[in-house]
Amino acid sequence: MSPVCPPWPGPPHAPDLQRPFDGLVDDGRLLGMRLQHLLRHPPITLPPHTSVLVVARTMRERGVSSVMLVEQGRLWGLVTDRDLRNRVVAEGLDLSRPASDVATLNPMTLDQRSPAMEALLLMVRHHIHHVPVMDGPRIAGMVTASDLTQLQSSSAVCLAGDIHRQNTLDGLVAIGPRVKALQNTLSAAHTSAYNTGHIITAITDALTRRLIHLAEAELGPPPVAWVWVAAGSQGRCEQTAKSDQDNCMLLGDAYNPTLHGDYFKALARQVCDGLAACGYIHCPGGMMAMTDRWRQPLRTWRQYFQQWIHFPDPKALMLTTVFFDLRAVHGESMLLHTLRQEVLARTPRQSLFLAHVVHNAQLQRPALNLLGQLAQIRSGEHAGTVDLKLQAITPIVDLARIYALAAGLLEVNTTDRIEKAALMGDLPEQSSRDLRDALEFVCSQRIAHQRQRMLHGLAPDNHLHLQELSNFERGHLQDALAIIQSLQDVLVQRYPVAHF
């Protein structure tokens, strides 16, 4: 289980490889362009034994900020201007030493056919500014953060870098409002909801990891293996500027509550309170690592899932479904990987469990009346609106989760789950395309709605007044909700209440 969102696999529909496909930005470039189109010069390489002095002079003469170290045609390492500054000049090292002494070894790479989005996310998640680009085993070139500055979303790289440099909670809190500004920039650039979710979530991950680092600096190193786990929309890489916290902590079985309990309780409290201070409110249902129940060793989590799967209770499942959307953010990710593999090996055979999950999903129906027309909330604070999260997005998330649990799929992102379910034959390809299109449309409307509210100085929410939509958009929303409803009905037939 990777400690970050899975590699960006592309939008729901694969484009022609020669045609940029997504995220129109201000200068007319496309966010989804392939990395091969960003390479501005042939790869600049030197042998690993080259002296630091020669590397620095080569970078100056060629006007570049990095050099790749290559031996027998294989990428061996990478030296950047930051390496020279931090590992050579600041340490007073002898310039005659080999570059291999200060290089980043085995750097992360991407294939030249990968979208620019994938390089962006890699930089944001790992706080790096250079990514070697490969053409199979051959080095094709280098893409840098500055190469992406012409793409509006590259501000995410700068934002992640600023997060990494903060040494106080106050510094991170000051950065919080920039997440909303970033979402507005992405929305204005017509970036897809799928891409926006990955970018915003990557920033949340960066904030979370920095808060963990600050807590560890105060509390000391963790006494046993552990992993911080995102659940819900953060786990699925589907966050927007309107998100609360859903997280938990998975501890190694060497955990002893008497010896280690106070440490992890303090760490969880600092991180959750820090996230709240940065704008990610505490989960109203307490689904957070700071809650004792959700900060447990692997053996206890195994018991939780065994109870939920083999002895399902509808009310309990309604509250804990969020924990079937888990992704490691920081720490020993293998702990979560082990747990998820065990869980997903069991769920496909549990018809009673799946029937309960389907039944719970039916309680949240799309915003349609008996005639199949859009139905607005009738009373209360949000009368006259449609709740895009609860009445449109959540039902799709539930559908995708059911398909994933029924087939034992490792995918966590909703779009990825829907696509994989079709590849596995559990969902007709046409239904998969329709559902992915419905999700993209509804999420895009939600992001556009939030942007308009923020531009008017209002807090982002999920309640859309239909007057905000054109007749054309209303028709698409109604069609999207009808698709969701029809697929809900299919699952009810597949897992009938008779199973209870």
294 falls within a domain: yes
pLDDT bin (cut points 50, 70, 90) of residue 142 is very high
So what's the pLDDT on residue 415?
Answer: 97
Are 63 and 185 in contact by the 8 Å Cβ rule? The answer is no
Average pLDDT for 257-267: 97
User: Which tens digit of pLDDT belongs to each residue from 315-374?
Assistant: 888 888 889 999 999 999 999 999 999 999 999 989 999 999 999 999 889 999 999 999
Indicate whether 341 and 368 sit together in one domain: no
Indicate whether 389 and 341 sit together in one domain: no
Indicate whether 368 and 263 sit together in one domain: no
Which domain-ending residue is among 301, 326, 347?
A: 347
- What is the distance between the alpha carbons of residues 187 and 193, in angstroms, rounded to a whole number? 8
So what's the pLDDT on residue 193?
Answer: 93
113 falls within a domain: no
Q: Has residue 418 got a pLDDT over 70?
A: yes
115 falls within a domain: no
The whole domain housing 398 covers 352-499
- What is the distance between the alpha carbons of residues 322 and 285, in angstroms, rounded to a whole number? 11
Indicate whether 160 and 297 sit together in one domain: yes
Q: Give the total number of structural domains in the chain.
A: 2
Indicate whether 179 and 157 sit together in one domain: yes
Indicate whether 315 and 415 sit together in one domain: no
Are 454 and 327 in contact by the 8 Å Cβ rule? The answer is no
Question: For residue 393, what is the domain's CATH number?
Answer: 1.20.120
Question: For residue 334, what is the domain's CATH number?
Answer: 3.30.460.10
So what's the pLDDT on residue 409?
Answer: 95
* pTM for the model: 0.78
Which domain-ending residue is among 318, 347, 376?
A: 347
User: Which tens digit of pLDDT belongs to each residue from 204-250?
Assistant: 999 999 999 999 999 999 999 999 999 999 999 999 987 889 999 99
So what's the pLDDT on residue 417?
Answer: 97
How buried is 342 (Cβ within 10 angstroms: 0-12 exposed, 13-18 middle, 19+ buried)?
A: middle
271 falls within a domain: yes
Indicate whether 396 and 445 sit together in one domain: yes
218 falls within a domain: yes
Indicate whether 196 and 311 sit together in one domain: yes
Q: Has residue 8 got a pLDDT over 70?
A: no
Indicate whether 227 and 339 sit together in one domain: yes
So what's the pLDDT on residue 31?
Answer: 54
396 falls within a domain: yes
Q: Are strands 226-230 and 327-331 parallel, antiparallel or unpaired?
A: antiparallel
Indicate whether 410 and 280 sit together in one domain: no
pLDDT bin (cut points 50, 70, 90) of residue 16 is very low
pLDDT bin (cut points 50, 70, 90) of residue 3 is very low
188 falls within a domain: yes
- The number of residues in the chain equals 500
The dihedral through the CA atoms of 111, 115, 118, 123 has a sign that is: positive
User: Which tens digit of pLDDT belongs to each residue from 367-408?
Assistant: 999 999 999 999 999 999 999 999 999 999 999 999 999 999
Which domain-ending residue is among 299, 331, 347?
A: 347
Indicate whether 367 and 415 sit together in one domain: yes
Indicate whether 336 and 437 sit together in one domain: no
